[in-house]
């Protein structure tokens, strides 16, 4: 009877946790959509542009390189490029598809040693043919060039072409004599002449077929039924004139994955649209007004030195606690869990991780990881496991395969996964299992004195590390319960890592994007 009560209580706690994790995912998704919309609304209200490029480091150009150049480097907030004699190309990162009709004015600030030619290379979609503009002459001095994309002459491989209406890729192609240099200072895409500013004071939610009068900020409501949404989005795209900015209300009745897919579909049909979450319209416009007011005031510079001082303090704490840990075993275990998990949870749950960590974040991750590795001396776990450990780990994979097959749409192709992806994911799974099981669950067992509670807390930490990816959070909670329990039974990592990697890749390959959008976490999942 006691065992049955424990099982029922554990199931109730898991069910409550599932609900809370879903609420956390929705809350973070709404906050991200609202913040993104507020930023775009503030720019649309002021007439500013979201497409502005400055050249400080490798993150400011596509793939972190200049294709075809002899050499390049960043200096004094500019990109210095030496020509090899062949044309070289610079990719300008596009955070979202570009509506070239609403943002046709390309401003380029550059200096060249000698006469050169600039061509623009555009793909309307990533799988579409390249469109190349007629050459624009660059003169040997520091000059600001203003180009109208709609008035340039364009061609593709088969002959002349109309100006692109959109862009998924934008590159600058420069022809310059060998060993001569070009210095790229800045670039921007400005709005079309006569662009209508958005009134942030009085937004009105209207039906999709309503004609919005000039001077009124209308937000078009989409139907809740997913089957009706594509046609409505297409009709809105056709009806809105070029000078205005489409504002679209995103229904939030479905799963987070469905909301993000709808957001992407809206931007695919209307790249300049501003999707606004239905549950946060007033908050979004209030935030946009605050951003507009903040932009009009004097900017406050962020002190980078404070971040590095904070990192130094964290490193000192890690060293001191490692050399002089608390004498009480429970307190020591709790402190070690906190020092290992605080950084990844702050980065991911706090919305500070976008998949491209800067040097400060890399330093934080590196020092915490070194501290976590040092905790395995002496080692309380083993690499390989018994046949029973491998069999139980395989049972988790089989369960994942069944769930994936049930959720698989036979009309949708499997997502392709190459061998490199498998190898990287296996290494990543091994690291996660080490942190979640060998470090945290092991110590939660000491802190709580209860294996069931330790398994739950270990699995909860594992799920939170996948915020705000709702499906992945639930999958890792359930999988974490299995793997943490198996770890406490066998103390073996390799079976867990293989089971983790195989289960995740099966779900990623089988489940359709409406259920499992991707394996990304943090802000990277929301973008």
Asked if residue 468 has a cis previous peptide bond (ω within 30° of 0), the answer is yes
Those residues with Cβ within 8 angstroms of residue 144's Cβ, 6 or more apart along the chain or in another chain: 107, 108, 109
Those residues with Cβ within 8 angstroms of residue 375's Cβ, 6 or more apart along the chain or in another chain: 322, 336, 340, 439
Check pLDDT > 70 for residue 195. Answer: yes
Q: For residue 304, what pLDDT is reported?
A: 62
Tell me: the pLDDT tens digits for 94-106? Answer: 988 899 999 999 9
Those residues with Cβ within 8 angstroms of residue 278's Cβ, 6 or more apart along the chain or in another chain: 249, 250, 251, 252
Q: For residue 425, what pLDDT is reported?
A: 87
Check pLDDT > 80 for residue 53. Answer: yes
Q: What is the mean pLDDT of residues 248-265?
A: 90
Q: For residue 296, what pLDDT is reported?
A: 65
Q: What is the mean pLDDT of residues 397-423?
A: 85
Q: For residue 468, what pLDDT is reported?
A: 93
Point out the least confidently predicted range of 297-301, 405-409, 491-495. 297-301
Q: What is the mean pLDDT of residues 482-502?
A: 93
Check pLDDT > 70 for residue 216. Answer: no
Number of helices (H), then strands (E), in the chain: 14, 19
Q: How confident is the model at residue 235 (pLDDT cuts 50, 70, 90)?
A: confident
Q: For residue 325, what pLDDT is reported?
A: 93
How many angstroms separate the first and last alpha carbons of the chain? 49
Strand order in the sheet with 203-207: 203-207, 217-221, 247-250, 274-277
Tell me: the pLDDT tens digits for 10-34? Answer: 788 888 998 999 999 999 999 999 9
Q: For residue 411, what pLDDT is reported?
A: 82
Residues 287 and 35: their CA atoms lie apart, in Å, by 7
Q: For residue 329, what pLDDT is reported?
A: 93
User: Beta strands of 196-324 (E only): which ranges?
Assistant: 203-207, 217-221, 247-250, 274-277
Q: For residue 211, what pLDDT is reported?
A: 62
Q: How confident is the model at residue 356 (pLDDT cuts 50, 70, 90)?
A: confident
Q: Which two tokens stand for residue 129?
A: 């043919």
Chain-centroid distance of CA 482 in Å reads 29
What percent of the chain has a predicted confidence (pLDDT) above 90?
A: 61
Q: For residue 36, what pLDDT is reported?
A: 93
DSSP string covering 306-342, please?
Answer: HHHHHHHHHHHHHHHHHHS--SSHHHHHHHHHHHHHH
Residues 138 and 118: their CA atoms lie apart, in Å, by 7
What is the average pLDDT value for the chain, to the nearest integer? 89
* Top-confidence residue, 355 or 449: 449
Q: How confident is the model at residue 481 (pLDDT cuts 50, 70, 90)?
A: very high
Tell me: the pLDDT tens digits for 305-318? Answer: 788 899 899 999 99
441 DSSP assignment: I
Q: Three-state SS for 263?
A: helix
Q: How confident is the model at residue 401 (pLDDT cuts 50, 70, 90)?
A: very high
Pick from 102, 388, 137, 423: nearest CA to 272: 102
What percent of the chain has a predicted confidence (pLDDT) above 70?
A: 97
> Could you give the domains of the chain?
37-47+196-295 (no CATH), 52-190 (2.60.120.260), 340-359+376-526 (no CATH)
* Top-confidence residue, 245 or 300: 245
Which residue reads 């004699």 in tokens? 85
Let me know if 40 is exposed, middle or buried by CB neighbors in 10 A (0-12, 13-18, 19+). buried
Q: How confident is the model at residue 212 (pLDDT cuts 50, 70, 90)?
A: low
**DSSP β-ladder status, 166-167 and 143-148:** unpaired
Q: How confident is the model at residue 210 (pLDDT cuts 50, 70, 90)?
A: low
Q: Which two tokens stand for residue 114?
A: 């000698």
Q: Three-state SS for 37?
A: helix
| Cα distances (Å, whole numbers) of residue 506 to 416, 475, 512 | 11, 12, 12
Contact 371, 323 (CB under 8 A): no
Check pLDDT > 70 for residue 297. Answer: no
Contact 272, 223 (CB under 8 A): no
**DSSP β-ladder status, 154-156 and 131-133:** antiparallel
Q: How confident is the model at residue 227 (pLDDT cuts 50, 70, 90)?
A: confident
Q: For residue 97, what pLDDT is reported?
A: 85
What sign does the dihedral 457-458-464-469 (CA atoms) show? negative
Q: Three-state SS for 427?
A: helix
Check pLDDT > 60 for residue 405. Answer: yes
The pTM (predicted TM-score) of the whole model is 0.87
């Amino acid at each position: 009877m006691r065992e049955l009560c424990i099982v029922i209580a554990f199931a109730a706690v898991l069910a409550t946790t599932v609900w809370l994790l879903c609420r956390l995912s929705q809350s973070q998704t709404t906050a991200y959509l609202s913040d993104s919309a507020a930023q775009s609304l503030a720019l649309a209200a002021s007439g500013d542009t979201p497409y502005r490029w400055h050249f400080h480091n490798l993150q400011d150009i596509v793939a972190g390189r200049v294709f075809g150049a002899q050499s390049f480097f960043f200096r004094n907030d500019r990109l210095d490029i030496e020509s090899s004699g062949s044309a070289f190309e610079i990719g300008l990162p596009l955070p979202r598809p570009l509506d070239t009709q609403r943002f046709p004015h390309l401003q380029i600030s550059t200096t060249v040693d000698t006469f050169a030619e600039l061509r623009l290379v555009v793909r309307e979609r990533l799988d579409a043919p390249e469109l190349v503009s007629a050459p624009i002459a660059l003169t040997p001095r520091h000059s600001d060039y203003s180009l109208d994309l709609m008035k340039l002459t364009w061609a593709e491989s088969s002959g002349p072409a109309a100006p692109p209406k959109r862009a998924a890729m934008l590159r600058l192609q420069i022809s310059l004599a060998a060993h001569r240099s070009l210095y790229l200072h800045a670039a921007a895409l400005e709005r079309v002449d006569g662009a209508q500013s958005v009134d942030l004071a009085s937004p009105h939610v209207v039906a999709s077929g309503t004609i919005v009068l000039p001077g009124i900020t209308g937000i078009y409501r989409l139907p809740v039924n997913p089957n009706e949404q594509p046609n409505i989005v297409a009709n809105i795209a056709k009806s809105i004139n070029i000078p205005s900015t489409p504002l679209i209300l995103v229904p939030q009745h479905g799963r987070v994955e469905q909301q993000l897919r709808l957001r992407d579909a809206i931007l695919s049909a209307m790249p300049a649209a501003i999707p606004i979450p239905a549950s946060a319209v007033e908050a979004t416009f209030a935030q946009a007004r605050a951003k507009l007011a903040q932009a009009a005031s004097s900017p406050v510079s962020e002190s980078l030195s404070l971040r590095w001082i904070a990192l130094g303090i964290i490193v000192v704490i890690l060293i001191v606690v490692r050399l002089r840990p608390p004498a009480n075993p429970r307190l020591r275990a709790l402190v070690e869990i906190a020092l290992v998990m605080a950084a990844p949870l702050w980065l991911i749950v706090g919305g500070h991780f976008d998949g491209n960590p800067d040097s400060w974040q890399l330093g934080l991750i590196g020092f915490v990881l070194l501290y976590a590795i040092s905790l395995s001396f002496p080692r309380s776990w083993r690499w390989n496991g018994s046949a029973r450990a491998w069999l139980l780990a395989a049972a988790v994979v089989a369960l994942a395969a069944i769930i994936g097959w049930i959720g698989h749409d036979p009309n949708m192709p499997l997502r392709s996964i190459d061998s490199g992806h498998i190898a990287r994911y296996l290494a990543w799974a091994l690291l996660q299992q080490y942190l979640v099981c060998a470090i945290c669950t092991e110590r939660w067992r000491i802190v709580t004195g209860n294996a069931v509670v330790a398994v739950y807390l270990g699995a909860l930490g594992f799920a939170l590390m996948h915020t705000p990816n709702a499906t992945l959070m639930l999958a890792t909670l359930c999988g974490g319960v299995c793997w943490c329990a198996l770890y406490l039974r066998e103390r073996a990592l390799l079976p867990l890592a293989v089971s983790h990697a195989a289960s995740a890749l099966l779900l990623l390959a089988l489940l359709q994007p409406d259920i499992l959008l991707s394996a990304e976490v943090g802000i990277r999942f929301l973008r």
